[in-house]
Structures are given as structure tokens and as C-alpha cells.
């Protein structure tokens, strides 16, 4: 899971845990468990505590629609129906957004990889290395292009199952940001368990400072400045198991059905669209640095921090004045359009 440490006004350490000075306290705060992680919503200016309560309740409503394990969820119904299943507007929109991301990344993100992920034990905690024959059998059912959408319904071929978790938290962050702004909130920071959504700027108008974790340890790799943006990180260190001296992580390559070995240790995506950031953080990790940078050059609707397995760091040009390394022993390259 994409997990975050506790947040503070001046500094947020993404997917890690390190001390940071708290310069001021939120006006209201709500912490709860949802979408298989701990979430913390902090309001700093505008609105009131009731706005946070409504936001937290909204997360629970969306989780009830999208959970792959909830017997009553719409995604669970779709996965087991064998025929068309009706979807609420929220689920239909999220599914369409997810399919768009699958197409945009040429399948580097594929929401139908769920049965393969389960075979590795990443959805159950019962970890095991599937044999090649088992993986091949499961991969025969992995193909997002076979998902059928028709208005307010969707259908899957027999044996196919989908999971929208790769975009759900980023999408949820955008939903909550809109809800809070409608309630008069002008400054808030939402920790959705690996997906950070900044609402506006800090109360003094300065950017939020979001720290990106060092994938090789628990400290900070660097700090990015953001205003009204989402920040999402994916890395092989987040969830993994080891067998016979080999580490297997949860980010699978849809082509091989095995952990993606792209030369990247982590990818952090920053942008205005949380669902795009969420989906890309996984897809770009699968692609590897060269293809990920070509994707950035093509779309130009996000910025990113890439940490390679050799420890080098590459940032996209839009972050040149908004990202600073915390470690002096790192090599930093700025990619150009």
C-alpha cells in the first residue's frame, strides 16, 4: 500500500516516517481507516469541522461502491455477475477514468491485473511465487480493452476481474477537494494513505512542502513545493516479500504478470488531476525511465520525480524550481521537454 506518515503544515513526508517541526496546528482534523489504509484530513483555513466530517463520510460512501472485497460493492457485483452490471454515476465515472488511463499508458496500467496480483498474495497477505504456467493462465484473462461499457452499466468477459484501486484514492482526493472548497475551505491537506491532495496553499499563501521518501531508507530524499495539487508515489519498497533471497514487489508488469523490473525504485507524480497522478505513478514505474519521460514529453500534464535503482534522481523540468534534494550524495538530472 502507498502509506504516508503523519502530516504537518510545513512538511509532509511521503510514504515514510521522519520527524518534522510543526509550525502551526490545523483548525480541524479527522483520522479514520478506509480503502485499506489510514487517512488523515486536516483543515487549516475556511470551513469548519463539519466539512471534514462530511468529507470523511464521503470517503466511506465511495469505498462501499468500489471495494473488491465488500460483498455489496458495485465492483464486486461486476466481477461476479457474468453479465452487465448497473453502476452508479460515481463508479461509472471512475471506471471510465481508469480505462482512459489504461489506454493512455498502452496497458502499462491495466485494471484487469487483479487476479494475477491475488495469485502473488498481495491482496490476501498469503505471499507465494506462482509458477509460469499459472501466471500464463491468468494473463490470458488480463486485457482492459475487453471491458464493455454501455451508459450506466458495464460487463466483463468470463473469468475477468477488475480493481480500481490504482486510481481510486487519487480520484477520491479530487472529489474531497471539490467538496471542501464548496464548503468554504481555502487551505487543507488530505492524506489518503499514499495520495496527498493539497487544497489551496498554506494559510500564509506559501506552497505546501511535500517530502518524498528515500526508497532506500526511512529518510527524506527531497522536498517538492505544491499548491492545489495531488502528489502520489509508487515504489517497490511499499509492499513486497522475499523468497530465496529474491524480493518480489506488488507493482506487476501486465505483460509478464511478474513484478516490474524497470530500473526504477520509485516514481512520484505531481499534478492537478489526482486520478491521473495515481494511475501514472504505477504505470510509469512499469515503463521505466526512458519511456516514462517520453510519456511526460507527450502529455505535459504532470511533473514527476524518478528515483533509479542506482540512486540517481531525475525530475521533470517543471519541478526545477520546486524540488530540492535533501541528500548531497545524489545525482540530480533535470529532464527537458
Fold (topology level) of 72-165: T-fold (1.10.3980)
Percent of the chain with pLDDT over 70: 93
- Between 142 and 1, the more confident residue is 142
2-7 mean pLDDT = 34
pLDDT above 70 (res 43):
yes
Domains in the chain: boundaries: 12-63+169-335, 72-165
Per residue in 199-227, pLDDT (tens digit) is: 999 999 999 999 898 998 778 899 999 99
pLDDT above 70 (res 174):
yes
CA atoms within 13 A on the CB side of 231: 28
Could you give the angle at which helices 89-104 and 49-66 cross, rounded to 10 degrees?
Answer: 70
pLDDT above 90 (res 31):
yes
pLDDT at residue 218 in the model: 76
**How far does CA 166 lie from the centroid of its chain?**
6
Lowest-confidence pick of 13-17, 95-99, 135-139: 13-17
Quick one: three-class SS letters along 217-280?
Answer: CCCEEEEEEECCCEEEEEECCCCEEEECCEEEECCEECCCCEECCCCEEEEEEEECCHHHHHHH
pLDDT at residue 22 in the model: 39
pLDDT at residue 30 in the model: 95
pLDDT at residue 275 in the model: 96
pLDDT at residue 337 in the model: 93
Asked whether 166 and 132 are in contact (CB, 8 A), the reply is: no
pLDDT band, very low/low/confident/very high, at 327 (cuts 50, 70, 90) = confident
pLDDT at residue 82 in the model: 74
Fold (topology level) of 12-63+169-335: T-fold (3.10.520)
Percent of the chain with pLDDT over 90: 82
pLDDT band, very low/low/confident/very high, at 23 (cuts 50, 70, 90) = very low
pLDDT at residue 9 in the model: 33
pLDDT band, very low/low/confident/very high, at 12 (cuts 50, 70, 90) = very low
Could you give the angle at which helices 274-287 and 89-104 cross, rounded to 10 degrees?
Answer: 30
Per residue in 140-170, pLDDT (tens digit) is: 999 999 999 999 999 999 899 999 999 999 9
**How far does CA 305 lie from the centroid of its chain?**
14
pLDDT band, very low/low/confident/very high, at 329 (cuts 50, 70, 90) = confident
Q: Which of 190, 211, 236, 169 is nearest to 14 (CA)?
A: 211
Per residue in 242-284, pLDDT (tens digit) is: 999 999 999 999 999 999 999 999 999 999 999 999 999 999 9
Bridge partners (DSSP) of residue 196 are 191, 231
- The SS3 assignment for 308 reads strand
Q: Radius of gyration (Cα) for the chain, nearest Å?
A: 19
Amino acid at each position: 500500500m502507498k502509506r504516508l506518515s503523519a502530516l504537518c503544515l510545513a512538511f509532509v513526508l511521503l510514504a515514510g516516517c521522519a520527524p518534522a517541526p510543526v509550525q502551526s496546528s490545523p483548525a480541524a482534523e479527522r483520522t479514520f481507516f478506509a480503502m485499506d489504509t489510514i487517512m488523515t484530513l486536516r483543515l487549516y483555513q475556511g470551513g469548519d469541522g463539519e466539512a471534514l466530517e462530511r468529507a470523511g463520510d464521503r470517503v466511506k460512501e465511495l469505498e462501499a461502491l468500489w471495494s473488491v472485497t465488500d460483498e455489496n460493492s458495485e465492483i464486486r457485483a461486476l466481477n461476479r455477475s457474468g453479465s452487465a452490471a448497473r453502476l452508479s454515476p460515481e463508479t461509472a465515472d471512475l471506471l471510465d477514468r481508469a480505462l482512459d488511463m489504461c489506454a493512455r499508458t498502452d496497458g502499462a496500467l491495466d485494471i484487469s491485473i487483479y487476479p494475477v496480483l491475488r495469485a502473488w498474495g498481495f491482496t490476501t497477505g498469503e505471499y507465494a511465487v506462482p509458477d509460469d504456467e499459472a501466471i500464463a493462465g491468468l494473463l490470458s484473462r488480463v486485457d482492459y480493452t475487453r471491458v464493455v461499457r454501455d451508459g450506466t452499466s458495464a460487463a466483463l468477459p468470463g473469468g475477468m476481474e477488475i480493481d480500481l484501486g490504482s486510481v481510486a484514492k487519487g480520484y477520491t482526493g479530487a472529489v474531497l477537494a471539490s467538496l471542501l472548497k464548496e464548503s468554504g475551505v481555502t487551505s487543507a491537506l488530505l492524506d489518503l494513505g499514499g495520495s496527498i491532495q493539497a487544497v489551496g496553499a498554506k494559510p500564509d499563501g506559501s506552497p505546501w512542502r511535500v517530502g518524498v521518501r528515500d526508497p532506500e531508507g526511512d529518510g527524506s530524499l527531497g522536498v517538492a513545493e505544491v499548491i492545489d495539487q495531488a502528489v502520489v508515489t509508487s515504489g517497490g519498497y511499499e509492499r513486497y516479500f522475499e523468497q530465496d533471497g529474491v524480493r518480489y514487489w506488488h507493482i506487476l508488469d501486465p505483460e509478464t504478470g511478474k513484478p516490474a523490473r524497470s530500473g526504477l525504485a520509485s516514481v512520484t507524480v505531481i499534478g492537478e488531476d489526482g486520478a491521473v497522478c495515481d494511475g501514472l505513478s504505477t504505470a510509469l514505474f512499469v515503463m521505466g525511465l526512458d519511456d516514462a519521460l517520453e510519456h511526460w514529453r507527450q502529455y505535459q500534464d504532470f511533473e514527476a520525480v524518478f528515483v533509479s535503482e542506482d540512486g540517481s534522481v531525475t525530475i521533470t523540468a517543471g519541478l526545477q524550481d520546486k524540488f530540492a534534494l535533501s541528500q548531497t550524495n545524489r545525482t540530480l538530472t533535470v529532464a527537458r521537454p
